[in-house]
Homo-oligomer: A and B are copies of this chain.
Amino acid sequence: GTVKKIAVLPGDGIGPEIMEEALKVLRKVEDQFGHSFQFTFAMAGGGAVDRVGNPLPEETLSLCQQSDAVLLAAVGGPKWDNNPPELRPEQALLGLRKSLKLFANLRPAVLFEGLENASTLKQEVVKGVDLLVVRELTGGIYFGEKKREQLEDGEQATDTLVYHEREVERIVRRAFEIARGRRKMLTSVDKANILESSRLWRSVVNRVALDYPDVQVEHVLVDNCAMQLIRRPADFDVIVTENMFGDILSDETAMLTGSIGLLPSASLGEGTTGLYEPVHGSAPDIAGQGVANPAAMILSAAMMLRHSFGYEEAATAVEKAVRKVLADGHRTADLAGPGELAVGTEEFGDLVVEAM
């Protein structure tokens, strides 16, 4: 078979540790399913700022552009929090999203067996939660014109939220396609009572909906959605929304099941290239201690197997293995209850490999 080229960006904080476990699992996938991967490491984020003064060095970007997929662990940390915008670790993310044209961010939130009680929400409320936020990732206020001006009577700052109907249509179509392969319910989130961009968004959703008569669509205002996610999270299937609303709602969603350490994400473009990263951050406070939870990173690798390579069987095998390890009661420190014995990062990775 062909060799898949994977750009590996371990990044900052716990990044390198959890990445190691994901690679271990991918090596097991090579053995077990006869696939082959070529891993190339590169720097990104705060470490890259420190070493070469650029969160997304030219070599890293071109490596990613030439790869079949990108695995990114985590970037950022307090050390760089007061840097000027262009020297902040998250520029690596923003730059990759924009250059690789990764307009579709997929963030699944599911309740894992054995972790029904990890949430701050009541068990009966989170029971059955299985939703997916599809967030537009390369447009909107993230990438619109910005300015800061000194006026006569003080400073003024401006950000611009722009959407072209083409940008809306491609993310909305992607969401409809995904909903079709799931429970066939799509919630489109906007603020159409205030924003012109939301009114355009809503009209595109209504137009595209005609091509998907089998999918049930509802429009929900963003403020109401923030409420309903807490009130009845299990009722949602696929949620599609613009960049900033998606940023907020996908993080809210990530907290619903109480196990953010388990949540992967995929950022996809038109082709099969994709960037895969955990939802959680770089957790500098526990970096280097071997206690970080590598599950979200491993599950991100599984999403890569599915979405970029079409290795469905291998993807499912990895996901099942992670679920089994959790269902068997193994817990990293972030999930262990008081008095429970926690497994380390490496041990968790080994258990997943064993379970495969």
Contacts and interface: CB of A to CB of B under 8 A. Distances in A.
A164 interface: yes
Contacts of A231: 120, 255
A115 interface: no
A230 interface: yes
Which of A120, A151, A250 has the most CB atoms of chain B within a 10 A radius of its CB? A120
Nearest to A89: B193
Interface string A233-265: 000000000001101111110111000100000
Contacts of A244: 191
Nearest to A125: B120
Interface stretch (A26-34, A142-150, A314-322, A343-351): A142-150
A211 to B, nearest CB: 17
A140 to B, nearest CB: 9
A166 B154 contact: yes
Copies of this protein chain in the complex: 2
A81 to B, nearest CB: 9
13 contacts: A85-B193, A120-B122, A120-B230, A144-B158, A148-B196, A154-B164, A159-B195, A161-B161, A191-B244, A191-B247, A226-B226, A227-B260, A245-B248
Interface of A: 85, 88, 90, 120-122, 125, 141-142, 144, 146-148, 151, 153-166, 191, 193-197, 199-201, 222-224, 226-227, 230-232, 244-245, 247-252, 254-256, 260
Given A153-B164, A191-B247, A223-B248, 19 more contacts: A85-B193, A90-B193, A141-B194, A154-B165, A156-B163, A156-B165, A157-B163, A157-B195, A157-B199, A160-B161, A191-B244, A226-B249, A226-B251, A226-B252, A226-B255, A227-B254, A227-B255, A230-B252, A230-B255
